[in-house]
Amino acid sequence: MAFWRPKITEEMVKKARDGYIKASSIPTLTSARIEEGYVKTAWSQKSLDIGKKRTFSKLWNLDNLSSPSNLIRNENNESLSSHQNGKSVCISKQKNDKGDDVTILEVWSNENISKMVNLTELDLHGMVYFDNELGGLVLNPSGTKAAYVAEAKKAKNEPFFPVKTAEAKAGTTHGQEFAFKEEWGEQLLGRCQSVIVVTDLNSGQVEVLQELVPDKYCPGQLEWINDDLLCGVLVEDVPYKLGLIYCSNRPSGLFKVNVPEKQFEILKDAQGISCKRPKSNGKYLVWLETDLLTEMYPGPHDQCFRMMSKNFANDQVQTVIDLKHDFDPEKDNFAGLYLLGQAIPNQVFINDNSLIWNTIVDGLNNVMLIDLDINSFFVLDFPNTTVLDVQGSNVVAMKSDPKTPGSVLFGQVQDDNLVLKEISSPMNVDLNQEIVFRKLVHDPKDGSGLKFSSIYIGPWNKSLSTCPLILWPHGGPHSVIPMSFSNDAYYFLQQGFALLLVNYRGSISQGKSGVESLLGKVGDQDVKDCVQAMEECLQAYPNLDKDQVVLFGGSHGGFLVTHLSGQYPDLFKVIFL
């Protein structure tokens, strides 16, 4: 079968290059906070000239939402910040006057930088964790203490035969420079043993609470319950430290520590479960929890979670939202709670008893309201919307779809409903009006009854000339392609391709049974789902050319497209991974 473009012309190369430059120029909204009468948003944009992303901010005054600030360039990508009661705290890596890297904690008021602490000079711990897996910076409710996570300080080591002889300092080890130390894997290099660090923002005193936590645990994901009580997640590191990024199936429990009294307590043992993302308003503590599988331990790398709550008034622990086992994409508006694919807002509590949470349903982001008093929830009608922060009844969110880049929304919770309005217009990307995006639901041919879906993005008009199709399964495998804007997808659309994004069985956002159905069937069930989705898409859109189907995927998606090209070589023209 001959390649349909036997000759690459200069015009083709120019179109591809210009299209990629244009696609890379579209910024992505990465976070937003409500602070001191402002909506503060952070954005990132790919810079092709320097080969990395540049970040910037934009502000809206809540008294004049129609006039945002100019773009504010962010110079530091490795930083943490938190805000409480008119006080902001930031930890960042900076260069000192000698050009050396130093880590600085700064306390900001409305008038000035009221305090600066050189954490590198204090040398009480190793590197600060800037990641989103164990790291984070949190302020207590009164804004008097800040807590963060860092690497435990390692003993200074000297070789047995040093180049320069000097008197060894107390606590120095010898000959350990090549000793293997387990780390937490992908994107978490250098993280071996985490410790809790608390800073008194009035005195500037920094204290490491290392001795309180048992050696087999690594603490992280900190959250203040009140001014003195701090809680978080305990990840068990025995028998081995296995990767944490994209893996919510690691044994982990919950703890709390009374900081002034130095009292440590395990709230939830890590045996057989995984606990994630605690949030507290002083009255309740809520967190996500799932069971680790015993037959195929520990189960899918991302799983369906239940939401749990603890009422501090009576110490009662209850299930707020249980695991969602079965899901029908044509009937259900809720598919369970997950970590990948759905953002958790900075703050979630609307009042003492209610909170906002994000959910993803078969690839569609949406918002839900949860009542902790009666353990009930309902999903609102806000498709393609993700809440980023909450302050009382005020809410800031983002919205996008496959044809429309992200925009900022602001509004309030009113009478068990959410009222949002757009305060930033999405960037105009000038896509052909013939391009549509639609979800296709597929009933597997093996009779399992576990339906799955795909997202078609491309021309719909049957009278148009034939169009090549890119079949694009996601990585993971327990992940999802959301129905939101993607710079890469936009690039391919501009080049004249249609896209089929497949959320095969095993994808999250399709219920616990759907996620676990892939266990033991990788390279078979997911491959067949991709072929079925492609065949039904070609049937639904006759303007697509079945002889011009391209395979595209990375990570597990790359694994899948390799299998597809090998198992069905006559169906595909090109493979790109």
Tens digits of per-residue pLDDT, 205-219?
A: 999 998 999 989 999
Give bridge partners of residue 285 from the DSSP assignment. Answer: 280, 310
From residue 172, alpha-carbon distances to 42, 160, 166, 183, 348 in Å are 43, 11, 12, 22, 46
Token reading at 43: 């954005």
Q: How confident is the model at residue 53 (pLDDT cuts 50, 70, 90)?
A: confident
171: pLDDT strictly greater than 70? no
Q: How far is CA 326 from the centre of its chain?
A: 24
From residue 240, alpha-carbon distances to 51, 167, 205, 217, 470 in Å are 35, 36, 34, 11, 40
Quote the strand ranges of 48-205, DSSP E: 52-61, 72-73, 79-84, 87-95, 101-108, 113-118, 137-139, 145-151, 157-158, 173-174, 194-200
Closest among 549, 543, 553 to 573, alpha carbons compared = 549
pLDDT digits (tens, 9 = 90+) for 215-249: 899 999 999 999 999 999 999 987 889 889 999 99
CA atoms of 365 and 484, how far apart (whole Å)? 8
What integer pLDDT is reported at residue 1 of this predicted model?
A: 42
What integer pLDDT is reported at residue 512 of this predicted model?
A: 96
Q: What is the DSSP letter of 98?
A: T
CA atoms of 515 and 509, how far apart (whole Å)? 8
User: By mean pLDDT, which of 102-116, 253-267, 347-361 is the weakest?
Assistant: 102-116
What integer pLDDT is reported at residue 162 of this predicted model?
A: 74
- Bigger pLDDT: 253 or 168? 253
From residue 110, alpha-carbon distances to 82, 85, 139 in Å are 14, 11, 17
126: pLDDT strictly greater than 90? yes
- Bigger pLDDT: 166 or 299? 299
What integer pLDDT is reported at residue 502 of this predicted model?
A: 98
What integer pLDDT is reported at residue 331 of this predicted model?
A: 92
Specify whether the CB–CB gap between 388 and 346 falls below 8 A: yes
pLDDT digits (tens, 9 = 90+) for 311-341: 999 999 999 999 999 999 999 999 999 998 7
Specify whether the CB–CB gap between 119 and 105 falls below 8 A: yes
From residue 27, alpha-carbon distances to 206, 265, 485, 499 in Å are 38, 44, 11, 21
What integer pLDDT is reported at residue 398 of this predicted model?
A: 96
What integer pLDDT is reported at residue 553 of this predicted model?
A: 96
CA atoms of 422 and 428, how far apart (whole Å)? 15
Q: Which residue has the tokens 């015009």?
A: 11
DSSP assignments along 528-571, one per residue: HHHHHHHHHHHHH-TTEEEEEEEEE--THHHHHHHHHHHH-TTS
492: pLDDT strictly greater than 60? yes
CA atoms of 168 and 156, how far apart (whole Å)? 10
Specify whether the CB–CB gap between 538 and 480 falls below 8 A: no
What integer pLDDT is reported at residue 174 of this predicted model?
A: 75
CA atoms of 146 and 310, how far apart (whole Å)? 23
pLDDT digits (tens, 9 = 90+) for 497-535: 999 999 999 999 999 999 999 999 999 999 999 999 999
Q: How confident is the model at residue 400 (pLDDT cuts 50, 70, 90)?
A: very high
Closest among 478, 468, 483 to 534, alpha carbons compared = 468
pLDDT (average), residues 249-270: 96
pLDDT (average), residues 352-373: 95
Closest among 552, 568, 405 to 469, alpha carbons compared = 552
What integer pLDDT is reported at residue 456 of this predicted model?
A: 97
- Bigger pLDDT: 295 or 128? 128
Residue 96 has a CB neighbour count (10 Å cut-off) of 12
Complete edge-to-edge strand list for the sheet that includes strand 113-118 = 79-84, 87-95, 101-108, 113-118
Q: What is the DSSP letter of 297?
A: T
- Of the chain, the percentage scoring pLDDT greater than 90 comes to 74
Closest among 130, 326, 105, 131 to 198, alpha carbons compared = 105
- Mapping DSSP onto H, E and C, the string for 182-205 reads CCCCCCCCCCCCEEEEEEECCCCC
252: pLDDT strictly greater than 90? yes
